Amino acid sequence: MISQEEKESNVEAEFKEPINLLFEADGQKEEKTRTIALYEEITEESASAVVGGLLYLQKESHLSPQESGELEEVHDPIKLIVSSVGGSAHEMFSIYDTMRLVKDDCEIETLGLGKVMSAAVLILAAGTKGKRRIGKNCRIMLHPVAGGAVGDIEDIENDTKEIKVQQKQYVKCLAEESNLTVKKINSILKRKTNQYYSAEEAVEFGIADEIV
């Protein structure tokens, strides 16, 4: 029989080890950083790791002395590196809503590297304003929400409606997190092809704040 303490320890290890970067110095492991790297397609598995990591790091804090002499609980920023071709809209929203929740306690510094496409664009844009960076050679890509509806005609119609709902929600959220208007985003998506943009354009759009 596994005790409750062992269960909690196993959950903590599952969240902690894959998401925090380790540095080696003289063969010794140094202190883990508060960094999460999304370097793959957004799937249930990768979204689970990011969400679990965000919630785990949200809990970690330290007491800092204030001018009044009292101790205040402080949460250091979380760094989220994004280099993804995108993926599931449902899992994108699970990460996005978790980021919104975590930002109530601590800042999330996002960094886009290499490629930030489709669903991953919202993740990059959802970082703390002023703390969203992008590599100078990174490429941004926007396109309509895709789906592969199969089955009876009724199922296909229902799935098509759901895709439209997801795209409308995606556009609304991206507009809230960037300088782009709903009208501008819809005009991009109506081209029905992959639309690529530079790091400079990402900053202009308000998807990122600074080029590194």
SS3 annotation, the chain: CCCHHHHHHHHHHHHHHHHCCCCEECCEECCCCCEEEECCCECHHHHHHHHHHHHHHHHCCEEEECCCCCEEEECCCEEEEEEECCECHHHHHHHHHHHHHHCCCCCEEEEEEEEEECHHHHHHHCCCCCCEEECCCCEEEECCCCCCCCCCHHHHHHHHHHHHHHHHHHHHHHHHHCCCCHHHHHHHHCCCCCEEECHHHHHHHCCCCEEC
Q: Which amino acid is at 108?
A: I
Among the listed residues 110, 103, 102, the one whose alpha carbon sits nearest the alpha carbon of residue 38: 110
Q: Which amino acid is at 152?
A: D
User: Annotated catalytic, 143?
Assistant: yes
Per annotation, catalytic residue among 3, 118, 187, 198: 118
Per annotation, catalytic residue among 75, 88, 94, 143: 143
- CA 6: distance to chain centroid? 30
105, 33, 208, 98 alpha-carbon torsion, rounded to 10° = -40
**Catalytic residues, which ones?**
118, 143
